Structure 1
Amino acid sequence: MTPLAPSLSALVRLRAERPEAVAEAAARRTRRRLIRHPGDRLMIIAADHPARGALAVGDRSLAMANRFELLERLCLALSRPGVDGVLASADVLDDLLLLGALEDKVVMGSMNRGGLAGAAFELDDRFTGYRPDDLVRQGFDAGKLLLRIDHDDPGSLDTLHTAARTIDAMAAHRLPVFRRTVPLPPRRRFRLRNDLGAAAVATSIAIASGLAGTSAYTWLKVPVTDDPDAMGRAMEASTLPAVLLGGEVGDDQDAAYGKWRDALRLPTVRGLVVGRSLLYPVDGDVTLAVDTAVSLLRPGRDGP
């Protein structure tokens, strides 16, 4: 990775002495369309984990706690050919704005970060991040919300209601909203885990697709199942465009690439939104990890 120490030192001074520089950088940023050409697929780097207290990568509990290292890895990933943009919370996007790393990129703001990892209120995914008006003011290109559904938790209804009204507000601004839907198994105990069975994923997709007064600006952000056939059946639950999320970092990255490649063949899948497995790959080679992920999207450049 290319050291960013001089730029990061200037960033820290700028934040303290000229806070208005964030708005100035946002105002002069070169923007781009979400989808530039028919058949294009998106490669988005995700970095909204720290705002929810999710700092672990694999067996490294505080891997994402070093903000300077995270920014270096993000700037490297965003500089690679074929990377379309980034998903992050306001603090990270403000840093990237000041570093000049968001020019001609899709900028996606993370909206509900209230369900802190490991907390008793983790499923209470309140909208403590970007509001639709914030994204408009900053000139950003999309928003992302997390919708975790637990049939044993009455609080999930509050999350559903708030998510629906937020989607309405985004549609009023004609801003795309990427909706990550996470099915949870019944009778969970102590630690949240996702249910990636075909029935659970399909049900969560159907519920998420039907939220709000319009789905015109809605994208889905979905996990990849281990079974390609199950993934295909689950994705038949909606016609909305979808992107795949990367999931946890594992030792067998080649297997993850294989699952992404299979899922990208499905007609509604239009890209990848991946974070830790590309920013903190097991072998440490961010460039190789990002370039390999981008290469999986190339068949989609010719159209559906």
Structure 2
Amino acid sequence: MRIFVSVDMEGISGVEKVEEVFRGMPAYQTFRQIMAGDVNAAVQGAIDGGATDVVVADSHGYMCNIRPKDLHQRARLRSGMKRVLCQFKGFSHRFDAAFFVGYHSKAGTPDGILSHTWIPAFKDVRVNGRSVGEYGLNGYLAGSFGVPVILLTGDDKTVEQAQPVLGEIEYVAVKKSLGYFQGEHLPLKESHARIREGAKRAVARFSRARPTPPKAELPVTFELDLARHENTLVTKMKDENLRFVDDDTSGALADVELIAEHEPVQVRWPETVSFTCNRYADAYNLLFRILMYFYERDIEWLLEEIADPERYKRDFARLVGDSPLNYVG
């Protein structure tokens, strides 16, 4: 049985702050090891349940967070920004099932830990009218290849949001969301144990009865609300950074204007673009192209305007205890 693992970072055990999920921030090195630990627990659980091949796609930030030396020896790693399917590098119909590890709630979720959908500029994404987060975008992508998602790990709000899309699969809530930068976390040893057991159950359930993959009706319509300075966290950006100047225009362009000029979309002013495709993967890839217009700008904004490394503090003893950061079984 072949398992594909898409791993994000905001929903990883213990994570609750920007300073923990980006290179150069004070706790990044600690949490990239914990990220590998969550993945390794899922990989071991999959093997316990009978999986024979596991591929892990690093799917956070610049997508080079997990070091090969930290990954379970039975898993193979796909990392780096050069990819076609955003958070699904290396994916194909040849996989039997998918795991989503370290996933987070969608943009705009009240009190959702680090809630967003790909980047801050994406205020809301709707697939055929349904507002979804990354669990939905990627769940429908897997389904379009005929592959079901059978495990999701993350915070409690993500579990709640994902169920209408992904259905009755295995969910492991490793923390409770209390605010955008605050959560109530399981001790690391317990979190990893629950992930391993959840992964084992997921594979065992699949072996007994293959679940129906989630699928978006075709042709599929995506609607994207792009952030405006008066109604999102992007308010904190300086005005010159709020607008994106492209190579062909002498003046500044608002985000919606830029996308309307360069991509095959329809516009509903002042903030919404939409597009319809006959294949789900084509719509997903168009959204990925739109993402890349703003990706570096939005990450730099997070690091400069939201992160506060000098004031960052965490009680790691309470979270980690005597457990190793990286799961060793």
Question: TM-score by structure 1 length?
Answer: 0.33
The higher-RCO structure (CA 8 Å, 6+ apart) is 2
Greater share of strand: 2
Question: TM-score by structure 2 length?
Answer: 0.31
Greater radius of gyration (CA)? 2
